[in-house]
């Protein structure tokens, strides 16, 4: 067995950690929108039931994003399946928010929430894309340093 190759457990664990991260990230984004909505309405407390529904929704959506829609928010390019994931996950969040009355069942707020979720997804996609470019530069720099050190060692032993 190749020691450099990821085991099935490592692949699974990597996906689970990614889902955990997504749940936290999107829960924070949804919580922010929820808190702003509540403050604008003059309400300065939050429903524990709503918060519980939100975090479970974020975990559920994380699994859908990873296992059904190819982890679209971490994708290099958006194609058919990724676009479908973006739209379907947004619609699922909005449907949950509407039917669970996170925003008191107000249609206009649900539409604003849909726009907010789409913007959040786009920002996350751009952040991941930038992070990959930065990571690529760092890896390329490290490779150049390694190659130059390796070439130096080879030349030193030849002399």
**What is the tens place of the pLDDT at every residue in 127-143?**
999 988 998 889 898 88
Share of the chain above pLDDT 90, in %: 67
Question: Given a cut of 80, is residue 73 above it in pLDDT?
Answer: yes
> Which one has a higher pLDDT value, 118 or 157?
118
Asked if 33 and 41 touch (Cβ cutoff 8 Å), the reply is: no
Q: Where are the alpha helices (DSSP H) in 7-100?
A: 8-40, 48-67, 80-99
Mean pLDDT value across residues 92-117: 96
Q: Reduce the DSSP state of residue 155 to 3 states and report it.
A: helix
Between 80-99 and 48-67, two packed helices, what is the crossing angle to 10 degrees? 160
Q: Where are the domains of the chain?
A: 8-158
């Amino acid at each position: 067995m190749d020691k450099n190759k990821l085991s099935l457990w490592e692949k699974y664990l990597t996906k689970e950690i990614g889902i955990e991260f997504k749940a936290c990230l999107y829960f924070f984004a949804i919580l922010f929108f929820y808190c702003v909505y509540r403050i604008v309405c003059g309400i300065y407390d939050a429903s524990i039931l709503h918060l519980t529904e939100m975090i479970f929704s974020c975990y559920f959506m994380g699994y859908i994003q990873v296992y059904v829609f190819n982890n679209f928010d971490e994708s290099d390019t958006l194609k058919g399946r990724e676009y479908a994931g973006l739209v379907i996950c947004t619609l699922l969040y909005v449907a949950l928010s509407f039917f669970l009355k996170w925003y008191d069942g107000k249609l206009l707020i649900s539409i604003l929430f849909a726009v907010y979720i789409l913007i959040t997804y786009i920002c996350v996609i751009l952040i991941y894309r930038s992070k990959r470019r930065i990571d690529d530069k760092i890896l390329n720099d490290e490779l150049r340093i390694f190659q130059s050190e390796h070439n130096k060692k080879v030349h030193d032993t030849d002399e």
